[in-house]
Amino acid sequence: MSVVGVDVSAGGLSRRWVSELASRLAGCEVVDADSRAADVEVLVVGNPPASRLDAFPRLRFVQSVWAGPDRLAEGTVGVPVARMVAPELTEYMAEFVLMAVSMLHREAPAYRRAQAESTWQPRKAELARRRRVGVLGYGELGRPVARLLRRVGFDVAAWARSPRIDPIPVLCGEDGFREVLGRSDILVNVLPLTPHTRHILDGSAFEVMPEGAGLVNVGRGAHVVEADLLDALDEGRLSEAILDVFEEEPLPAGHPFWAHPRVKVFPHVAAPSEAADLAPYVADNVRRFLAGETPRFLL
């Protein structure tokens, strides 16, 4: 009987993953990975460093429940690793981004600051079709995000590393990147983290954006040079930032983002990997692997 380990203690997954998978993998033992580390053949994880896998000498396959397990992808891994692709993750992400963009579009953070000062201060509103939104990344998550924003009425353009044929304008290359930045009243980052995209949003990128633009980052914290973002906000080049991801997570106490009046901090919740939602997809991929088939969505 194959042993499937869930990375609970080190990987941050809830114990519910054990029960949800056990009910779907009748031919396997599903355990807390650390309790049977010597026996685990299949490991279910979030986004641990690749060195975490060294604790499992019989490991044959790794299934991440994250859409972008960048720390695994950056390391040297001797077994196949699959990422999570599921409509529930897409829905969660699109809903969160719509909320964040709508907050910036109707200036909710500014109204919140006015409320804190007991100030009645109506602000000029714009229709969504007059608000230009840029989306960085046009893959499994970026594409539905851009399409939902367009359905609501926003003027959307996107950037990807390779050309796309799509009703939404999708630009590519360095010139396309700067063009999307330059037209984005609100910029949404949904890029995967790679060596090419690390720190892609730095001071030079913020200089290209329209004065007073807003930023929504749901990609990875390492896409943003945090000191440059703080400078851009303090100098008024950017008006607001809604951040769901950070270079260090959890965000350390005392980090400037916590108290900054123009930053809204969310604790990496845009597209949560809920066991009840995603266990069917994990179980299906584990069964594929154990049956000798190629798992889906390998890194």
Q: What is the pLDDT of residues 271-286, one digit of tens each?
A: 999 999 999 999 999 9
Q: What is the mean pLDDT of residues 211-234?
A: 98
Residues contacting residue 137 through CB under 8 Å, at least 6 positions apart: 158, 159, 160, 189, 190, 191, 192, 219
pTM of the complete model: 0.95
Q: Residue 296: inside a domain, yes or no? A: no
Q: Residue 275: its pLDDT value, please?
A: 97
**Pairing of β 186-189 and β 132-136:** parallel
Q: Residue 298: inside a domain, yes or no? A: no
Q: What is the pLDDT of residues 42-74, one digit of tens each?
A: 999 999 999 999 999 999 999 999 999 999 988
Q: Residue 75: its pLDDT value, please?
A: 80
Q: What is the mean pLDDT of residues 100-127?
A: 97
CATH of the domain at 78: 3.40.50.720
268 is catalytic: yes
Per-residue pLDDT band for 11 (boundaries 50, 70, 90) equals low
Say if CB 190 and CB 137 are below 8 A apart.
Answer: yes
Q: Residue 130: inside a domain, yes or no? A: yes
Joined together, the tokens standing for residue 205 give 């990128």
Rounded Cα–Cα distance for residues 194 and 143 (Å): 18
Residues 172, 57 within the same domain? no
Residue tagged active-site, from 220, 223, 237, 262 = 220
Residues 113, 203 within the same domain? yes
Residue tagged active-site, from 164, 178, 268, 296 = 268
Residues 65, 111 within the same domain? no
Q: Residue 57: inside a domain, yes or no? A: yes
Q: Residue 180: inside a domain, yes or no? A: yes
Q: What is the mean pLDDT of residues 235-255?
A: 97
Which domain, by its residues, includes 119? Answer: 87-265
Has residue 10 got a pLDDT over 90? no
Residues 233, 280 within the same domain? no
Q: Residue 297: inside a domain, yes or no? A: no
Q: Which residue has the tokens 């040079």?
A: 225
Average pLDDT of the residues of the chain: 96
Residues 230, 118 within the same domain? yes
Angle of CA points 146, 274, 288, to nearest 5°: 90
Q: Residue 105: inside a domain, yes or no? A: yes
Residues 13, 63 within the same domain? yes
Residues 38, 92 within the same domain? no
Residues 80, 136 within the same domain? no
Has residue 12 got a pLDDT over 80? no
Q: What is the SS3 assignment for 150?
A: helix
Q: Residue 76: its pLDDT value, please?
A: 78
151 is catalytic: no
Q: How far apart are the first and last CA of the chain?
A: 26
Residues 109, 212 within the same domain? yes
Q: Residue 38: inside a domain, yes or no? A: yes
Residues 160, 71 within the same domain? no
Count the domains in the chain: 2
Residues 215, 125 within the same domain? yes
Residues 199, 237 within the same domain? yes
Has residue 229 got a pLDDT over 70? yes
